[in-house]
Amino acid sequence: MTSATPTPVPPNPIGGELYRLTLPNTAGAARLARDFVASLLDLSRHTGLVDDARICVTELVTNAHRHTRTSLIHVDATVNRRRVTITVTDEGGPLAGPLSVLRAGPEQEHGRGLALVQNLALAWGTENGGPQQPERKAVWFTLGQPGQPL
């Protein structure tokens, strides 16, 4: 696993309930994923995390849509009383190396997505599918109350 945070955690470290959404790789996928996550967090009484989750999942699904030729995008949400972990998976090819947060200039229209995820999430990271699923890659983030252990 390649992790972008100092305290790496696996995509499902928290137990709890797992919810899945599979989307076609279309321009509307980000909106559908955003609405799915917002509804799920509202129902699970994580209303304080909804805005951050909407921003982060939109960024990850948009990246999968724009930068891969995958036919399907998968969104997994693991929710417990304290935290939520969202994982966006595609079959668009493995990551060549660790993802890095770009430093976009004020005039650039793109390049801020992972910086948003890094600033909003308690932790985030990436994972390749390995030899059994070489085209699979996942990007995940965990949201919760600051100060709580991951």
What is 59-108 written as a DSSP string? Answer: HHHHHHHHH---SEEEEEEEE-SSEEEEEEEE-S---SS--------TT-
Q: Is residue 81 part of a domain?
A: yes
Q: What is the CATH number of the domain that holds 134?
A: 3.30.565.10
Instruction: Quote the tokens at residue 120.
Output: 């909003």
> Listing from the earlier edge strand, what are the strands of the sheet with 72-79?
2-3, 123-128, 137-144, 83-90, 72-79, 17-24
Residue 1: pLDDT band (50, 70, 90) is very low
Q: Is residue 44 part of a domain?
A: yes
Instruction: Quote the tokens at residue 113.
Output: 């997505």
Q: Name the residue type at position 30.
A: A
Q: Is residue 118 part of a domain?
A: yes
Torsion over CA of 117, 137, 32 and 122, rounded to 10 degrees? -30
pLDDT, tens digit, 9 for 90 and up, residues 90-116: 998 766 655 555 554 555 455 557 889
φ, ψ at 50 (rounded to 5°) = -60, -50
pLDDT, tens digit, 9 for 90 and up, residues 55-102: 999 999 999 999 889 999 999 999 988 899 999 999 987 666 555 555
Domain that holds residue 112: 2-144
**Three-class SS state of 43:** helix
78 Cα distance to chain centroid: 11
Q: Is residue 150 part of a domain?
A: no
pLDDT of res. 123: 92
Lowest mean pLDDT across 2-11, 13-22, 34-43, 64-73: 2-11
Q: Is residue 110 part of a domain?
A: yes
Tell me how many domains the chain contains: 1
Q: Is residue 149 part of a domain?
A: no
Q: Is residue 61 part of a domain?
A: yes
Average pLDDT score, the chain:
82
Instruction: Kindly report whether the global pTM for this prediction surpasses the value 0.95.
Output: no
Q: Is residue 121 part of a domain?
A: yes
pLDDT of res. 21: 97
